[in-house]
Amino acid sequence: MSDRAALIREKQDLISQMLDMQKQFIEYEHQHGVSGKDYWASSDGLLADYRQKYLDMADRVVDLAHQIVGSRRVD
């Protein structure tokens, strides 16, 4: 597998994980409700690290997309 193919596969895997996370969040929200405080500051359960994990994965997806096409992020 080429480096480009490996990058594409990693990006696809991350997107799949992010979609699973979204599904879990929606199910949790429907069952328990989610307040702003829960979303922004929860320290237990599904929401404990949800925002940070999702943000980290999204950032990695963007970085991978740039690597795949040979561009770079503009700060």
Q: Does some domain include residue 23?
A: yes
Quote the domain boundaries for residue 54. Answer: 3-69
Q: Does some domain include residue 74?
A: no
Q: Would you say 48 and 24 are in contact if contact means Cβ atoms under 8 Å apart? A: no
Show Cβ contacts of residue 53 under 8 Å, excluding neighbours closer than 6 positions: 21
Q: Would you say 1 and 61 are in contact if contact means Cβ atoms under 8 Å apart? A: no
Q: Does some domain include residue 39?
A: yes
User: From its phi and psi, is residue 74 left (phi > 0), alpha (psi between -120 and 50) or beta?
Assistant: beta
Q: Which pLDDT score, from 0 to 100, does residue 1 have?
A: 63
Q: Does some domain include residue 75?
A: no
Summarize pLDDT for 24-53 with one digit per residue, the tens.
Answer: 999 999 999 988 888 888 888 888 899 999
pTM: 0.85
Summarize pLDDT for 59-74 with one digit per residue, the tens.
Answer: 999 999 999 999 988 8
**Overall number of domains in the chain:** 1
- Nearest 5 degrees, angle CA 1-CA 15-CA 70? 55
pLDDT at 55 over 70: yes
